[in-house]
Amino acid sequence: MTISQSNNESNGTQPPRIPTTQGYGQHPLHDRSQRPLKVIVVGAGPSGIAALVELKKLPHVEILCFEKNADVGGTWLETGYPGAACDVASHAYQYSFDYKTDCFSPAEEIGEYFISVAKKHDLYNRITFNSRAIGAEWDDDTGLWRVQVARDILPESDAIVENHLAHVFINAGGILNDWKWPDIEGLHNFKGKLIHTASWDPKIDLKGATVGIIGSGASSIQAQEKGRQWAEKMISSAIASPELREKLIPSWELGCRRLTPSLPYLKAIQEPNVNVIRTGIRRITEMGIETEDGELHEVDTIICATGFNTSFSSRFNIVGRNGVSLRTMWKARGPEAYLGMAIAGLPNYFTLLGPNCPIANGSLIPCIESSAKYIVQAIKKIQTDQIRSLDVKQPIQDAFNDYVQEVHKDLVWTGSCQSWYKDRKSGRVVAVWPGSSIHFMEMIASPRWEDFDIKYINREAKGEDLTYYLDDMVPEVKA
């Protein structure tokens, strides 16, 4: 793919100062909230929408949102496999400012809900669609983020790369949209149809087919509920004990993995055309699925309900202070953040649904809302206090994460199961908050600014912070 370059940069300059006889520069804007700021948001899924709704409330803030898809909704725009739905009751899986009454709504209705919210709050004119972030770098001298965005203007044309500058960068790209194939020998040697639930082609016709479903999570359960209706025979690959009843009872602690309640699923697996296999998979052949006992289960179609890349690593390279990338930062200890939102070494950067956010502690949506409000408080402080950079202190972040892991030792998520809540290398729990969702929301209601390293646009040379009251100092005493 050929990529052409285009610049679309703002210089992030500050309003002019009015000199005084005392040698200070007086700011012409006595109301500091009038300081113009630019904020870039990547992603227009549930997190991005919540962020945009809150950001719109800020005066004198220019907002740019880039979304890789052609519409809002994120995962719920992309999810289209048969039976796709939310496993959280809809009265809990919605914004507090826009209620929807359906219970366990299907994916299409959830997607329509987020579209309706975006329209109601006039967010479309702030979002550039078919535009994916491909890189971001912090400039300590200017106090600005440079975000590279590849815009796919037309399907047959080359992408155009634009550079955008912003004082604050919000990553709302989500973690459940980068789907992955299972790591099984011979998977792509299969001669039949190979499908992933997260990349479902609605044109696929499986009536009368023999279908093998790999996986036992939420998407697998939902696909099986519908699959039994059109498949002549369906094989579900799962690890369980010999009797069907026992197969459904996990050997690990209740809640160690995500709970997936579904009465239709329990009915579906008892249908005569459904066979639940307890034996693990050895490999995939051209004809079907070979299990550890040596038996070959011939199928026409394999559906991989095997989830997403949940490493929290961004799809694009993010470079912070001193040229250190986020991937390098996380190489030693795995994904870590402060309150799931701020990351040491990445000033003026915030992420929604970051490490140790409350992804399994209840509904995500209220926590996303609370996180967006926290970020807006930080932006207000940057704006009114004339702050160049707001960066969580590394010792604070380390202490927070050590505490998180210590608390998790007594919680169910450190149980004996294999779970995407845990980092594969270290075994640390990186995807769950060490408490309830209500506890999380209470914790982040009032930011602790003392946990951040703050650099101001102007700083008195002796270290005394007079910048909130007095602006530019004369050159010889300027820091």
Distance CA 209, CA 81 (A): 16
Give the model's pLDDT for residue 125.
95
CB count, 10 Å around CB of 371? Answer: 30
The lowest-confidence range among 51-55, 102-106, 311-315, 429-433 is: 102-106
- Closest by Cα among 80, 81, 75 to 93: 75
**Residue 214: its pLDDT value, please?**
87
**Eight-class DSSP state of 175:** S
User: What would the mean pLDDT of 108-121 be, rounded to a whole number?
Assistant: 92
Q: Can you give the pLDDT at residue 261?
A: 63
Residue 168 C-alpha from the chain's centroid: 17
Q: Tens digit of pLDDT for each residue in 219-258?
A: 777 776 555 554 545 455 543 434 566 666 677 888 888 8
Closest C-alpha to 191, from 305, 295, 299, 292: 299
Residue 479 confidence (pLDDT): 39
Does pTM top 0.85 for this prediction?
A: no
In one letter, which amino acid is 373?
K
Identify the pLDDT of residue 178: 78
- Does residue 321 have a pLDDT over 80? yes
Beta 288-291 vs 296-298: how paired, if at all? antiparallel
Q: Give me the pLDDT at residue 236, please.
A: 53
Structure tokens at 246: 């026992």
Q: Where are the domains of the chain?
A: 3-178+309-456, 187-304
Confidence tier at 3 by pLDDT (50, 70, 90): very low
H helix runs in 313-469, sequence order: 326-329, 364-384, 394-408, 437-443
Q: Specify burial of residue 418 (Cβ count, 10 A radius: 0-12, 13-18, 19+).
A: exposed
329-335: long-range pairs with CB below 8 Å, 24+: 333/401, 333/426, 333/428, 334/423, 334/425, 334/426, 334/428, 334/430, 335/311, 335/423, 335/430
What pLDDT was estimated at residue 430? 93
- Looking at per-residue confidence, does 352 or 463 come out higher? 352
The topology (CATH level 3) of 3-178+309-456 is FAD/NAD(P)-binding domain (3.50.50)
The mean of the pLDDT values for the chain is 83
Give the percent of the chain with pLDDT over 70.
80
Tokens of 311: 């490493």
Would the pLDDT of 307 be above 90? no
**Token pair for residue 229?**
């209706």
- Using DSSP's 3-state secondary structure scheme, residue 389 falls into strand
- Asked if residue 432 has pLDDT above 90, the reply is yes
pLDDT tens across 253-277, in order? 888 888 776 666 777 777 778 888 8
Sequence-separated (6 or more) residues with CB below 8 Å from residue 455: 143, 347, 387, 388, 389, 391
Which residue do the tokens 């009872």 mark? 249
Check residue 107 and give its pLDDT.
82
The larger pLDDT score, comparing residue 9 to residue 353, is at 353
Length of the chain: 479
Contact between 161 and 4 (Cβ < 8 Å): yes
Pick from 20-29, 139-148, 186-195, 286-295: least confident: 20-29
Give the model confidence (pLDDT) of 78-113 as tens digits: 887 777 777 777 777 889 988 876 556 778 888 999
| Confidence at residue 293, expressed as pLDDT on a 0 to 100 scale | 92
Lowest mean pLDDT among 257-261, 283-287, 292-296, 339-343: 257-261
| DSSP reduced 3-state for 236 | strand
Q: Which two tokens stand for residue 338?
A: 């402060």
Question: Rounded to whole angstroms, how far apart are CA atoms 332 and 30?
Answer: 46
Dump pLDDT digits (tens) for 159-215.
Answer: 899 999 999 999 999 887 778 888 999 999 999 999 898 888 888 888 888 888 888
Residue range 288-295: mean pLDDT, rounded: 93
Residue 4 has pLDDT above 50, yes or no: no
Dihedrals phi, psi of 125, to nearest 5 degrees: -75, 0
pLDDT score recorded for residue 311: 78
Half-sphere exposure of residue 264: CA atoms within 13 angstroms, side-chain side: 16
Tell me: the pLDDT tens digits for 6-21?
Answer: 555 544 444 444 444 4
SS3 for 194?
A: strand
CATH number assigned to the domain covering 187-304: 3.50.50.60
Q: What is the average pLDDT across 326-355? A: 95
* Residue 442 pLDDT > 80: yes
Give pLDDT, residue 246: 67
- pLDDT for residue 315 is more than 90: no
The answer to whether domain 3-178+309-456 and domain 187-304 are alike in fold is yes
**Gap between the terminal Cα atoms of the chain:** 46
Encoded tokens for 255: 């809640």
Residue 134's H or E segment, with its range, is: strand 131-139
Determine the Cα–Cα distance for residues 179 and 388; give it in Å rounded to an integer: 37
Q: What is the distance between the alpha carbons of residues 148 and 402, in angstroms, rounded to a whole number?
A: 34
The answer on pLDDT for 369 being more than 90 is yes
Half-sphere exposure of 115 (CA within 13 A, CB side): 12
Position 400 pLDDT exceeds 60: yes
